[in-house]
């Protein structure tokens, strides 16, 4: 503190006045001591007097401690001391108070800020000293510095915040940071004083927004939400905002808004939402597809199950009658036989075949035939016990398996079956009866398995048929021999043609009108070196079932026509040659062509050949038969229906067959002299044939009486032992020469 030569103690006056002065001094001292600022009187750079506060500020225990020292010690250094003196004395010299904030030094060396006021006691004379008031403002200064740094920091935060921050008062910008400006596309400072309406898309949105934050502001709460704002260039941006009134009680203080552009986030979110929606849509679609697929699969599986059940049924049951088929029968038979073996019981296997059932099919149609079979199946099932199996092999063939029975029991069942089959079947308008033939084989006597047993039952069934049908037969050693013979014949027949064992015999056919032999029927003969003569009735069925009938049949046609041609060449008057056709030949597609080529080879007039076809063969496939017969007729060959009366010819077909001749079966001819029924039948056949323009020939004519009857009824021709047995070629040649 600059020195002053003014002495404050120097005063003079009256005693009263002295007392008053002393009082005044005491009062001044009290004031000085109690002042909140440090006060010091300095004269010639020495601290002369100071108050308590001064001493305290500079770190002295009492005012007395502080005195008598140089005022230089109050400053950080000499330079600062002189700098102050230079600044202060020119001012103080003018009588003015010098005021400044000055950095000073406490006793312990600590520097601190003061507000210093200095004044010269006598501006005209610096020696009188100076008075300084020292106000320690270090705390205030520190607080201010702190405030400044806080403000600085805040400013930094504000300016560098990633979010937009704006202070609004009366909805106008008082301050905002750069992020806010950048966010809305404004230049720095451009928004100052601007109304917030500026960044709303419409007036209405601006008004509505105020409605949203009014209540939270008033409640002292923050408003948080998403608002669409508008950039300077008009682009809308989506913002997340958080705003709060600075003073909830006084809206006039405005509010702070923290704003964040979430357009990008929103669009990503939207895209995500969209993607999610798409995905969900896709998933839903797939789910539906899957559900559909699953449903379809389930449906397929169900269908498959039904189909499999159906297949299972088809595999084990006959489709027409619902009876077990051969496969299931075989299974049951195996069980039955092994059970019988354990229990030492007998099992019966029955083979049941309907007699002439083909005729039903041929004449009334397959539908009627099927219905007969269905009805018969039901009857058979009803006639046997629960543990018995009735199965169908196909056609009109049934196999019955009767466990735990014996010959007696089997015979009883067979009787019952014959009875039950005999009851007439009423199908549509038809009432028909069928008769079965039954063959029975017994386990263990006749065989040990289904194969062996069914062969025996089959053979026994054939025997039943041979014995007049509508009956049952047990398998016997004799039947065994018969089936052995069938096998034997079959093997021998295979070599018969090559070994020249076959021969044709010829039986004359006589015209009723002239009594002349007008034709011959070629009948096959087989002479085997060991077996001897075998009847065609025996070997022809074997040839048919083995297919051997085709080469044999061709040989017959060729031999018979060649023979006739030879006779004619030798001078015999031309007669017709009747040749029997088997069904296998007739069904063969090449037949008409074969016949023509043989006739051409032989050089015989086709009109001299007559082909005999049995009634049942013609009726099997009537339409096919008509076509083949037409073809043959057009080639000039005559057709005759053999064994007429045994089948179920329908009149309408008969007419369409356009056959030349009907051969009345010998079974009718045999009894015509006695049996009125046969007479009636034969009579009817003859008159029907003549009305259809057909010839008739009676076969098996053996007596004069038969001949007379036939002639009287108008039968055109006759054939039989009465005239001649079938003769060898040579014998027939002789016969012809004799009778002519």
| Long-range CB contact pairs, 107-113, < 8 A, 24+ | 107/58, 107/59, 107/60, 107/73, 108/59, 110/59, 111/76, 112/136, 112/138, 113/137, 113/138, 113/141
| CB 377 to ligand C2E: min, Å | 33
Count of residues that bind Mg ion according to CB under 5 A: 5
The 8-class DSSP code of residue 195 comes to: B
Residue placing its CB nearer to ligand C2E in the complex, 414 or 718: 718
Residue placing its CB nearer to ligand C2E in the complex, 261 or 699: 699
| CB 695 to Mg ion: min, Å | 15
Given Mg ion, ligand C2E, none, residue 540, with its beta carbon under 5 to 8 Å by kind, binds ligand C2E
Given Mg ion, ligand C2E, none, residue 537, with its beta carbon under 5 to 8 Å by kind, binds ligand C2E
CB distance 728 to 503 below 8 Å: yes
Tokens of residue 320, six digits: 């027409």
Q: Which of 458, 612, 615, 678 binds Mg ion (CB under 5 A)?
A: 612
Given Mg ion, ligand C2E, none, residue 556, with its beta carbon under 5 to 8 Å by kind, binds ligand C2E
Residue 699 burial (CB count, 10 A): 22
Q: How far apart are CA 633 and CA 592, in angstroms?
A: 9
Residue 610 engages Mg ion in binding (rule: CB under 5 A):
no
| 68 CB-contact burial (10 Å; exposed 0-12 / middle 13-18 / buried 19+) | exposed
Residue placing its CB nearer to ligand C2E in the complex, 373 or 613: 613
The residue with tokens 């044999």 is 552
Q: Which of 643, 694, 713, 729 binds Mg ion (CB under 5 A)?
A: 643
DSSP-assigned beta bridge partners for residue 28: none
Binding residues vs ligand C2E (CB under 6 A):
507, 522-524, 535-537, 540, 553, 556, 580-582, 612, 642-643, 666, 699-702, 720-721, 726
Continuous H helices in 59-137 = 63-66, 78-92
| CB 662 to ligand C2E: min, Å | 13
Task: Enumerate residues 546-605 that contact Mg ion by CB under 5 A.
Answer: 580
Q: What's the residue count for the chain? A: 740
The CB-nearest residue to ligand C2E is 720
CB distance 613 to 581 below 8 Å: yes
Residue placing its CB nearer to ligand C2E in the complex, 63 or 682: 682
Given ligand C2E, Mg ion, none, residue 136, with its beta carbon under 5 to 8 Å by kind, binds none
Residue placing its CB nearer to Mg ion in the complex, 75 or 644: 644
Q: How far apart are CA 296 and CA 722, in angstroms?
A: 80
| CB 644 to Mg ion: min, Å | 9
Residue 718 burial (CB count, 10 A): 25
Residue placing its CB nearer to Mg ion in the complex, 396 or 642: 642
Residue placing its CB nearer to ligand C2E in the complex, 76 or 541: 541
Residue placing its CB nearer to Mg ion in the complex, 130 or 666: 666
Task: Enumerate residues 670-699 that contact Mg ion by CB under 5 A.
Answer: 699
Given ligand C2E, Mg ion, none, residue 507, with its beta carbon under 5 to 8 Å by kind, binds ligand C2E
Given Mg ion, ligand C2E, none, residue 524, with its beta carbon under 5 to 8 Å by kind, binds ligand C2E
The CA–CA distances, whole Å, from 101 to 112, 115, 140, 202, 276 equal 10, 4, 12, 55, 69
Three-class SS of residue 148?
helix
Q: How far apart are CA 393 and CA 325, in angstroms?
A: 6
Which span sits near Mg ion by CB under 5 A: 2-10, 38-46, 375-383, 636-644?
A: 636-644
| CB 523 to Mg ion: min, Å | 7
Torsion sign, CA atoms 373, 615, 666, 458 = negative
Using CB under 5 A, list all residues that contact Mg ion: 580, 612, 642-643, 699
């Amino acid at each position: 503190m600059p020195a002053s030569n003014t002495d404050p103690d120097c005063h003079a006056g009256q005693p009263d006045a002295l007392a008053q002065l002393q009082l005044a001094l005491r009062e001044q001292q009290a004031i000085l001591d109690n002042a909140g600022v440090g006060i010091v009187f300095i004269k010639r750079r020495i601290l002369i007097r100071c108050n308590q506060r001064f001493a305290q500020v500079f770190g002295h225990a009492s005012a007395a401690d502080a005195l008598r020292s140089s005022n230089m010690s109050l400053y950080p250094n000499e330079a600062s001391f002189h700098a102050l003196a230079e600044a202060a004395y020119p001012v103080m010299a003018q009588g003015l108070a010098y005021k400044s904030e000055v950095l000073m030094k406490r006793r312990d060396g600590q520097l601190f800020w003061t507000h210093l006021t200095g004044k010269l006691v006598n501006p005209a004379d610096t020696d009188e000293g100076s008075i300084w008031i020292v106000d320690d403002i270090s705390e205030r200064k520190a607080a201010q510095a702190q405030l400044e740094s806080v403000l600085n920091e805040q400013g930094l935060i504000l300016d560098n915040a990633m979010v937009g921050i704006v202070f609004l008062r009366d909805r106008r910008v008082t301050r905002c940071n750069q992020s806010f400006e950048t966010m809305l596309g404004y230049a720095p400072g451009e928004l100052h004083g601007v109304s917030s309406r500026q960044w709303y898309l419409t007036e209405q949105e601006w008004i509505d927004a105020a409605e949203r934050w009014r209540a939270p502001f008033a409640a002292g709460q923050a408003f948080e939400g998403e608002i669409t704002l508008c950039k300077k260039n008009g682009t809308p941006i989506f913002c997340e905002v958080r705003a709060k009134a600075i003073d909830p009680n006084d809206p006039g203080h405005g509010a702070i808004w923290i704003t964040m552009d979430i357009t990008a986030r929103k669009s990503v979110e939207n895209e995500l939402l969209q993607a999610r929606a798409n995905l969900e849509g896709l998933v839903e679609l797939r789910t539906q597809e899957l559900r559909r697929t699953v449903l379809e699969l389930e449906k397929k599986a169900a269908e498959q199950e039904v189909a499999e059940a159906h297949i299972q049924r088809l595999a084990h049951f006959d489709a027409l009658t619902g009876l077990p088929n051969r496969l299931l029968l075989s299974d049951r038979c195996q069980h039955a036989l092994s059970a019988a073996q354990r229990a030492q019981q007998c099992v019966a296997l029955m083979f049941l075949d309907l007699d002439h059932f083909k005729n039903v099919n041929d004449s009334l149609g397959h539908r009627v035939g099927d219905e007969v079979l269905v009805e018969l199946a039901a009857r058979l099932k009803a006639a046997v016990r629960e543990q018995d199996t009735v199965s169908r092999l196909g056609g009109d063939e049934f196999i019955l398996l009767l466990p735990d029975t014996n010959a007696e029991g089997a015979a009883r069942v067979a009787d019952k079956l014959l009875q039950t089959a005999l009851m007439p079947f009423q199908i549509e308008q038809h009432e028909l009866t069928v008769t079965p033939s039954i063959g029975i084989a017994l386990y263990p006597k006749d065989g040990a398995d289904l194969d062996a047993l069914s062969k025996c039952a089959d053979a026994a069934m054939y025997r039943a048929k041979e014995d007049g049908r509508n009956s049952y037969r047990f398998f016997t050693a004799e039947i065994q021999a018969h089936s052995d013979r069938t096998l034997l014949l079959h093997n021998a027949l295979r070599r018969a043609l090559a070994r020249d064992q076959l021969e044709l015999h010829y039986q004359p056919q006589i015209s009723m009108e002239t009594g002349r032999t007008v034709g011959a029927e070629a009948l096959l003969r087989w002479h085997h070196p060991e077996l001897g003569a075998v009847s065609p009735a025996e070997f022809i069925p074997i040839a048919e079932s083995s297919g051997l009938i085709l080469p044999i049949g061709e040989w017959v046609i060729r031999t018979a026509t060649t023979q006739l041609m030879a006779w004619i060449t030798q001078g015999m008057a031309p007669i017709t040659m009747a040749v029997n056709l088997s069904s296998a030949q007739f069904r063969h597609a090449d037949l008409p062509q074969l016949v023509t080529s043989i006739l051409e080879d032989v050089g015989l007039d086709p009109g001299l050949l007559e082909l005999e076809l049995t009634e049942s063969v013609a009726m099997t496939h009537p339409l096919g038969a008509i076509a083949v017969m037409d073809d043959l007729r057009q080639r000039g060959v005559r057709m005759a229906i053999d064994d007429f009366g045994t089948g179920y010819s329908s009149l309408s077909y008969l007419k369409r067959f356009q056959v030349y001749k009907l051969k009345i079966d010998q079974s009718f001819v045999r009894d015509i002299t006695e049996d009125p029924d046969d007479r009636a039948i034969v009579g009817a056949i003859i008159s029907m044939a003549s009305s259809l323009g057909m010839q008739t020939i009676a076969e098996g004519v053996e007596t004069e009486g038969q001949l007379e009857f036939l002639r009287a009824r108008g039968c055109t021709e006759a054939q039989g032992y009465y005239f001649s047995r079938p003769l060898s070629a040579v014998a027939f040649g002789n016969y012809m020469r004799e009778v002519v």
